[in-house]
Structure 1
Amino acid sequence: MPVGIITNVCAIFLGGIVGALGGQKMSTELKEGLNMTFGIASMAMGVYAIAPLKNLAAVIFAVIIGTGIGLLCHLGKLINRGAMAMQRLISRFVSAPDNFEQQAFERTMVTVIVLFCASGTGIYGTLTEGMNGDATILISKSILDFFAAVIFGANLGLVVSLIAIPQVIILTILFLIAHLIFPLTTPNMILDFKAVGGILMVASGFRIIEVKMFPTADMIPMMIVIMPISWFWMQVVMPLL
């Protein structure tokens, strides 16, 4: 049972409801302070994941090559287009709140959909749980997502809870794919995979606090290329050193 996915989906669903019902009482100062906390928490999770890496050179290669692939394929733009398609579908059933212009509502909805359905941390956490059953990353992310959903729910209303529907579909598909990949991996490959995911979480933390807007969506392919690169490094390069 994908405990992490269920926890994450429930956190967003309930957070959206809590925000819609009582989030208006939250001050701007509190919201900004929580946002900064989200950033540093993401970085802490990233450092925790990076620490046990096995092959630093392979990880660096994967970060560079994977990000290059994402940028060349304009993956970030493709993800935003997918989020816009989801937003248009949702907007057919839910109108913008009275205090929101329709265009501003649509832009914010796209941001929220990307954050909850296609974030690097969510994808990394789901793949990790699918490969070895470790739900730690997704459960930790759920804590952040709950409060983020409360904040967005206070601004957008109950529509934030509806994002849990496409999220559970996307994460379940990734979970099943990872479950099939795991038998082909080794413990050292998993450690390098976690390290790459940790780097992505650190980059996400910098984006959250708006210090540096790393292209985190374009960096997602590095979680795919790390596996063959790590295997090649251990099987071919290391024996030559």
Structure 2
Amino acid sequence: DDDIKQALHDSGLNFQSIERLKEQNKPAKTVKITLTHKNNRDTLIKTGLKVGYCSLSAEAAKPKTQDICRKCGGNHTTNNRTANEAKCLNCSNQHEANSASCPKYIEQQQKIRKIIGDYTSEIKVPSPMTTTNFPSLTKIYHSAHQYHQADEHLEMMETMMEKMAITIVSAMTNAIQQSTTTLIGVFAQQNVLTNTRFISHIIINKFLTIDGAE
């Protein structure tokens, strides 16, 4: 307890008394601290208290409760009722405190309904369960089915385009090969004609030369 007093003093928390509680006439681990100011109490509850190398938590003391009879309003339990007549503790009328016909109870219920009515009339909260945020399963199925069909059509178009490209390339290749073969044939014929003319020219020139010699 002296360590706790020193820790409170070091923390600047002024106190009136420190009392260690008992359990079955034996000292318990719980210590009751009465502080001098409400702010000190709030600070101790929020921050706790460091005593040496230990950090101790603190909580506000619960006030002592007193039994009240709901039938007669006396300071005792309902089972130990002494008065014969019922008396409401809230309105002092002759009925039990938990009666639904109590004027105080009805007044409180009306206030609660008014507060709820004013709140709901001034603030319109949209329902989160809308078809935009949560579409029906049928629409989800149709959308997924449409996407699936679109994917199938796209795949079919890609396949057709590939086939068309292969056909066009094949046709162009055959045309180029045929054109190349034709050009080679023309060049070959031109070479043959040129060689023939050259040979004929040589023969003619040869004969002319012989004739000139004679």
TM-score per shorter chain, which class? under 0.3
Give 1 or 2: higher strand fraction: 2
Give TM-score, length-normalised by structure 2: 0.18
Give TM-score, length-normalised by structure 1: 0.16
